[in-house]
A and B are shown apart, each in its own frame.
Chain A
Amino acid sequence: MSDPTPPLLQIHHLTKTFGGLMAVEDVSFDLTAGLILGLIGPNGAGKTTIFNMVTGFYQPTSGEIRFMEKKIGKLSPHQITQAGIARTFQTIRLFKNLTALENVMAGLHHRTRMGIWDALIRSKSQRQEESMIMTEAEYFLQVLGLAGYRNELAKNLPYGDQRKLEIARALSTRPTLLTLDEPAAGLNEHETQDLIAMIRKIRDGGITILLIEHDMKMVMDLCEQIVVVDHGRKIAQGTPEEVQKDPFVIKAYLGEEEK
């Protein structure tokens, strides 16, 4: 069926070469708003490279990325976040020596404006803004169940909660598209179920989700659309049922342990 509104994220013929190595080759797919899309593939398939291009950490060698119809391939990471795409990292990259609250406050930076002068004179707008930042940050902590860690250093949080904190931090930038890089890595069964529920809640709140994952059970359970890449190329796209039956996918994963 044809949808009159264009997809939120459009990736056309995306290619990335590093020196002589072709990490991503001619990958194209679209992401409709409101969907949860999973990007899967064997190790080294190019998933994180695609991710990094979407979030501005790498520049595509060729091809086009459009977000809400605007070309974003050449933007720097902070511009991409300002445009409405937030991300988490595969290896957790929290501000380790800062508190959970301070971590989440980071996401509010680009949504606020007060500069040096206002800071010096503590103008009324500055005080209001600071208060807003605090309230917003506490809200996000609470929503993810982390309110108790408010003044705790990020590095002291248990692993599962660190992952949640990273998501809280990404959410505080108020993104339209949330990209998660292996959010379930290192989580146990129970925590993974929590995560799935949380991601669904986030999506129901109006945020589109794009995620990379290795945990197949989680992917098949959670994602509505799946894109499979192998050796830098897209080899399949579709619903979980379709993808599971795809012969190319099965071949690519042959020999890989299913979680």
Chain B
Amino acid sequence: MQLIQQLINGITIGSFYALVALGYTMVYGVLKMINFAHGDLFMWGAYLGLASLTFIVGIFTNGSPWMIIPVVIIVALTVALAGVLVERVAYRPLRTAGRLAPIISALGVAFILESLARNVFGASWKTYPTGVVPTGGIQITPEVRVSTMQLSVLVVSFILMAGLYLFIQRTRTGTAMRAVSQDPGVSRLMGIDVNQIISRVFLIGPGLGGIAGLIVALYYGSFDFTLGWTFGLKAFIAAILGGIGNIPGAMIGGMLLGVIETLASGYISPQWKDVIAYVILIIILVFRPTGILGERVAEKV
């Protein structure tokens, strides 16, 4: 029965990875670049959440779950806008500048975000005020317990992911995003404003990432500025697991990674769980069938 508990924990963590992975996968889909700064945007979600929550709690002196709502809105909007800004300033000018330059630029943005967070908020561990997160849970069996927090997290994540999926599949903007992922050139010819679509992608991806940051910080209760780095890398692994550029894939990949990681931590060793995740990544990529001509079957030799 411990297995079921592990699975519940794993899926919870998995949904975090999934939310962050979506940001990577969407950006990669339309720009074919890895947004190395994404993890740090996610981390800013946690810090901004803390700042606004502290502020609001300060006004009302007592924590209450309903305070989450304005916080979520503030965080999502701010991080989303930051994402759009980053794209405009640091990535758009480099669209035709080769493959190395965007990587350096993204890494540069990551540095800036990290340093900013460290200086503005301080390098120490931060904790979220209590009372906001509902405690307690549901005892399913003597060994299996789902905390209210986990339940809320799962519900919220599921709603977000379902919402995104429907958005991508059913709305015009969503379809345009899929079109641009497939072929930006043709999309432009079809009348799609590619730049605007890309901006929207950077609105949604980092927006989700920011919310994820808030949720993760609430879940764990405390964090520091290294949160973005490890989480970011793992979320990227999740995106690759599910097939980079593939939105349902990112969701599945995230869940899968969360479960694998939790099981590894429980049954093998907590110390090595990160290593196991990375090794899995390496193994997956090694056995991808990519030949000299690349994956694009359409490319004529």
Contacts and interface: CB of A to CB of B under 8 A. Distances in A.
Interface of A: 18, 48, 52, 57, 77, 89-91
B292 A18 contact: no
Interface of B is mostly: loop
Contacts of A52: 301
Nearest to A181: B301
A18 B293 CA distance: 15
B297 A18 contact: yes
B301 A57 contact: yes
B292 A91 contact: no
Interface of B: 292-293, 297, 300-301
A89 B293 CA distance: 13
A57 B297 contact: no
Nearest to A87: B301
Contacts of A57: 292-293, 301
Contacts of B292: 57, 77
With most chain A CB atoms within 10 A of its CB, the pick from B292, B293, B297, B301 is: B301
A57 B301 CA distance: 8
Given A18-B297, A77-B292, A90-B300, 9 more contacts: A48-B300, A48-B301, A52-B301, A57-B292, A57-B293, A57-B301, A89-B301, A90-B301, A91-B300
Contacts of A89: 301
A170 B293 CA distance: 19
A57 B292 CA distance: 8
Contacts of A48: 300-301
A90 B292 CA distance: 17
Nearest to B299: A91
B248 to A, nearest CB: 21
Contacts of A90: 300-301
Contacts of A18: 297
Nearest to B297: A18
12 contacts: A18-B297, A48-B300, A48-B301, A52-B301, A57-B292, A57-B293, A57-B301, A77-B292, A89-B301, A90-B300, A90-B301, A91-B300
A91 B297 CA distance: 16
A221 to B, nearest CB: 26
